[in-house]
Amino acid sequence: MLSSDHDATEVTLKPSSPRFHLSGRWAQPSPDATSLVASWCGASISFLLSGKFLRLRTGSRTERKDSFNGGTSMLACSVRSFSQDKEEVTTTYDCASSQEITLLDVDSLAAHSLPVKITITLIDWASVFELEDIIVDSVCDSLRRHIPF
């Protein structure tokens, strides 16, 4: 699926694709749904990325159940380099329903040697996170299922 709002070469993938490794409790909201929902802290999705950007689109079920939670963000996105130093950088995000979030762009990926391991984790115990789409620049060149290690 192409989008005129962003790069013309972007590809939209569903989180149920075998290109992604799921860990923890994820569920399909309905039998015909292509999105996945996590409501248990620690649920994660991971993959290898060698592209120019990474965005995700949240679904309508994404919500914070407790607005005062001591400042915990909803999601953490960790980027782990496979270079000799194996540096890992984690950034947190707050999400809302039906929102598109840029997790990585050309500038943030420039500091890493590609490919990088991406892990997106629900870190707030009082949130529901519906992952509708994962958006990258090219499926063949950018995205591979990671083997857990």
Q: Check whether 50 has a pLDDT greater than 60.
A: yes
What is the number of other CB atoms lying within 10 angstroms of the CB of residue 140? 7
Q: How far is CA 40 from CA 114, 122, 127, in A?
A: 31, 7, 8
71 conformational bin, left if phi > 0, alpha if psi -120 to 50, beta if neither: left
**Can you say how many angstroms the Cα of residue 89 is from the centroid of all Cα atoms in its chain?**
14
Q: Are 81 and 88 in contact (CB under 8 A)?
A: yes
Type of residue at 64: R
Give mean pLDDT, residues 57-78. Answer: 86
Q: Give me the pLDDT at residue 61, please.
A: 95
The confidence score (pLDDT) of residue 70 equals: 67
Q: What is the mean pLDDT of the chain?
A: 84
pLDDT at 81: 83
Query: Model-level pTM?
Result: 0.85
With bands split at pLDDT 50, 70 and 90, how would you rate the model's confidence at 59? Answer: very high
